[in-house]
Structure 1
Amino acid sequence: MTTATTRSETVTAAPARSRGATAGLWTLQVVLALAFVGGSGLPKLVGESYAVQVFEDLGAGQWLRVVIGLLEIAGGIGLLVPRLAGLAATCLVALMVGATGAQLFFLHEGFWYTPVIIGALLAVVAWVRRAEVVALVAGR
């Protein structure tokens, strides 16, 4: 890890990654982005019948389906933008925590492990890109 000093502030650069690690990280981000945009977010926005039924079962109203669909699409797109990828992954982890809770406590379906697995993959992206998240939040 390298450090540079500018105007009495210390900036820590992201650790160098091998070409294979970088390719693997981007592959994971692209797969997750496709899953969130095409596999999850768009069906919610267009009112696919299963998505509508899930939110009816939650009793939260269809407005929540639209909001979550928009968040999933925004997060999926964010995963493809180098500067935003870590923050997008972090936000989507929070969304997956909520999805896990909804599955376990309200929907009582057997698919609670799906958001856990996706959340774990997103956590890997967030962890690897943590220096970029810190830099983005700090305004650098």
Structure 2
Amino acid sequence: MTTSSPVTPEKKTMIASWVLRILLAAAFLAAASSKLAGVSMMVQVFDQIGLGQWFRYVTAFVEIAGVVALFISGVTVLGALWLAATMFFALLTHLFILHSNPAGAVILLILALVLVWLEREQIARLR
């Protein structure tokens, strides 16, 4: 006879955290890859931003750094905060410079903030 252990709230939180990490990693790695590959749409977007194409590369590396941090034990919350800040500025860029739909940035911002909330106990340990 097989006995199954009950799913505790801690286990649910851990599962949700890992699902969010994987979703965020997939989204940000895809975005960073398109920036590094010089996909024409990305080149055009960064032309519109007006800071030069160097900023496209910096943004890609910022995204990659955030993804890496998501998977380092003890600093997941910092990676999530890093990515949330990145999406906050992307949201502002969409609204005030590009005048385009910020839905993608908003969704990623919310997902990153949910991960911050799930991993909030790490903040106390960082002090």
Partner of 2:32: 41
Counterpart of 1:123 (choices 107, 113, 124) is 113
Alignment of 1:59-78 (within 5 A): 59-78=50-69
Unpaired runs of 5+ residues, structure 1, are 1-15
Alpha-carbon contact 2:46-2:52 (below 8 Å) kept: yes
Using the alignment, how far apart are the partners of 2:12 and 2:36 within structure 1? 36
Q: Deviations over 1:65-100 (max 9, x none)?
A: 110100001111211223221001001111111000
How far 1:49 moved relative to its partner?
1.2
- More strand as a share of residues: 1
Counterpart of 1:132 (choices 114, 122, 125) is 122
Q: Compute the RMSD of aligned alpha carbons.
A: 1.5
Using the alignment, how far apart are the partners of 1:128 and 1:24 within structure 2? 8
Kindly indicate whether residue 117 of structure 2 is the aligned counterpart of residue 89 of structure 1. no
4+ aligned runs moved over 4 Å, structure 1: none
Partner of 2:42: 51
Partner of 1:112: 102
Using the alignment, how far apart are the partners of 2:61 and 2:123 within structure 1? 21
Using the size of structure 1 for normalisation, the TM-score is 0.79
Using the alignment, how far apart are the partners of 2:69 and 2:123 within structure 1? 12
Partner of 1:11: none
- More helix as a share of residues: 2
User: Which range moved further: 99-108 or 111-120?
Assistant: 111-120
Unpaired runs of 5+ residues, structure 2, are 1-7
Alpha carbons of structure 1 residues 134 and 68: separation in structure 2 relative to 1, 3 Å: farther
How far 1:29 moved relative to its partner?
0.8
Q: Deviations over 1:106-133 (max 9, x none)?
A: 1111x21211111011001112212213
Kindly indicate whether residue 24 of structure 2 is the aligned counterpart of residue 23 of structure 1. no
How far 1:17 moved relative to its partner?
4.6
Seq. identity, %:
35
